[in-house]
Structure formats: structure tokens, C-alpha cells
């Protein structure tokens, strides 16, 4: 009988864990399993409480200890969930700051090299867009930097895209696949929703760098 109770408990808790579905946050699954576990333990205690060999005093002690244990477990559970969510949010904020810094250096440096070539190493008098294509071929709109033939980097990123190019300007968009931006509803370029995104526009007058999310 004991083995049957244990088996039923394992099955119920396991099924409850998977009911909320697969999400990036595990706490809905953990909470669902915890609620089922609590209900299971209450049922188990109710069956045990009905034993005829228990005195009234022992039953009262069992109820008191069970209530104290449940309250302590719930409070501890809530504290762990709050702390976990706080840590996740802080790590996301730190990651976004780091991501912005990386994009700031990478995109700006790469485009300023194009501007320098345009003014100082442009013997054929190429347009700004042509200079960009010469340095970062093939220079097709929509291409990720991971597809360019020479970027000056050992591992060209696949989250930086060429979105506009003409004789007078070049526009790059960099969006991170998972670091969150300021607006969760922001529609990112060619990727996920609500993640970090920056836009850099290079013209003959200089570079304009904007954090879009």
C-alpha cells in the first residue's frame, strides 16, 4: 500500500510539473508541482489521521506540526521564487548593458573604418556605399555579417545586419537574440521580439548611433 501511495504521488507531481508547458520561466511549472504535492500530502495526512490507534493528543500534535511545516515551506518557497526572479532580472539587465557596449564598439569601429577609407584611401572616388561593399563584400541588403567575406574579425557575428545601402549612406542594425531591451513589445529586425537592438547610420558627415530598444 505504501508503494502505491508513493507511485501515485510521483505520477501526480510529475504530470503537474509539465502541465504549464515549456516556457523560459520554470517557476510556473515548479509552483504547479508544489500545489499538487501539497494536496497529496494533505490527503496522506488525512488518511494517517484517521487511524484508530492514534490518541487525541497525538492527533493534535500531528496537526500542529503539519500546519507549522506547511507555513514554513510556503514562506520559504515564496522567498526562493522572489530571489530567483530578482537574480534573473538583474542578470538580464547586466547582459543588456554588456551587449550595448559590445555593439557600440563593434559597429562604430567597423563603420568608421569605412568613413576613413572614403576620405583618405579612395583614389577611385567611389561612393560611400561602394567603399562599404569593397571593405565588406558582398554588401547585400539583409545580409548578416556572418556571411561577409572579410570583416576583419575571426568570428563575424550573425546578429548584425545591413539594412540600407546607397551612394550616400549605410545603415546597420544589430539585435541580440535574447538580451532584453527596454520595450518587451518592440519588433526586432529579422529576429525575436523585445530584445536589445541598436541602429547605426553612416553618412559622409559622420556616424549616427541610436539605441532602438
**pLDDT tens for each residue of 115-161:** 888 888 766 788 898 898 888 887 788 777 655 545 455 444 557 88
Q: What pTM value is reported for the model?
A: 0.59
Among 34, 62, 89, the domain-final residue is 89
The residue from 43, 68, 89 where one domain ends is 89
What gap in Å lies between CA 137 and CA 130, rounded to an integer? 10
Residues 73 and 124 in one domain: no
Read off the pLDDT of residues 78-123 as tens digits, 9 standing for 90 and up: 888 888 878 777 777 777 777 777 777 778 888 888 888 888 876 6
- Give me the sign of the Cα torsion angle 74, 80, 82, 84: negative
Question: Are residue 140 and residue 200 in the same domain, yes or no?
Answer: yes
Comparing CA positions, the residue from 182, 192, 186, 139 lying closest to residue 161 is 139
In this structure, what C-alpha cell is assigned to residue 199?
541602429
Domain count across the chain: 2
Structural domain boundaries, residue 174: 97-211
Same domain, 103 and 65: no
Which parts of the chain are beta strand (E)? 160-165, 169-180, 195-203, 206-211
- How far apart are alpha carbons 6 and 25 in whole angstroms? 28
**Domain boundary residue among 89, 108, 135?**
89
Amino acid at each position: 500500500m505504501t508503494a502505491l501511495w508513493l507511485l501515485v504521488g510521483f505520477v501526480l507531481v510529475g504530470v503537474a510539473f509539465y502541465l504549464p508547458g515549456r516556457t523560459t520561466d520554470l517557476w510556473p511549472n515548479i509552483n504547479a508541482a508544489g500545489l499538487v504535492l501539497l494536496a497529496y500530502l494533505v490527503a496522506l495526512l488525512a488518511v494517517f489521521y484517521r487511524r484508530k490507534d492514534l490518541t487525541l493528543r497525538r492527533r493534535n500534535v500531528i496537526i500542529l506540526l503539519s500546519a507549522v511545516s506547511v507555513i514554513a515551506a510556503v514562506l520559504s518557497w515564496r522567498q526562493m521564487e522572489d530571489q530567483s526572479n530578482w537574480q534573473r532580472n538583474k542578470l538580464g539587465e547586466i547582459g543588456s548593458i554588456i551587449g550595448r557596449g559590445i555593439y557600440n564598439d563593434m559597429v562604430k569601429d567597423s563603420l568608421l573604418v569605412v568613413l576613413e577609407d572614403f576620405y583618405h584611401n579612395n583614389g577611385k572616388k567611389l561612393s560611400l556605399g561602394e567603399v562599404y561593399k569593397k571593405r565588406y563584400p558582398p554588401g547585400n541588403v539583409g545580409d548578416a555579417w556572418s556571411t561577409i567575406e572579410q570583416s576583419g574579425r575571426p568570428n563575424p557575428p550573425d546578429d548584425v545586419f545591413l539594412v540600407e545601402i546607397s551612394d550616400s549612406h549605410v545603415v546597420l542594425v544589430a539585435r541580440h537574440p535574447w538580451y532584453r531591451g527596454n520595450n518587451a513589445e518592440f519588433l526586432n529586425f529579422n529576429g525575436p521580439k523585445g530584445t536589445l537592438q541598436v541602429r547605426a547610420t553612416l553618412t559622409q558627415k559622420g556616424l549616427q548611433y541610436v539605441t532602438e530598444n
